[in-house]
Structure 1
Amino acid sequence: MATAKWRKSTRSGNSGGNCVEVRLNGPVEVRDSKAPALGSLAIERAEFAALLRSVG
């Protein structure tokens, strides 16, 4: 399977503010787009869906 691409949040603007990226390849990975070298946080899909429901 090819590696999934990182996707920037649609709520992130182009002004250089806070940006979150996700990658949907197995577990969901979340990282700071301004500091990708710091790594990412892997979250199981069910937990990520629960997170989105709670903040949505």
Structure 2
Amino acid sequence: MAAAEICAHPLASRPDLVRRAASELVHIVDAPSPGEVLAYAAGLAAASPAA
């Protein structure tokens, strides 16, 4: 979340997606970087129906 907030990433307002991305990605990638988590979260957001 801190990386999203620091870089004013649009997903900073979607902590649910960032947390979900982090919890899923840790099973796929050893020690994912903040950038990898944000990229994965962006993919989740794109695949989700518009709210």
TM-score with structure 1 setting the length: 0.30
Greater length-normalized contact order (CA 8 Å, ≥ 6 residues apart):
2
User: Which one has a larger percent helix, Structure 1 or Structure 2?
Assistant: 2
User: Which one has a larger percent strand, Structure 1 or Structure 2?
Assistant: 1
Q: Which structure has the larger Rg?
A: 1
TM-score with structure 2 setting the length: 0.32
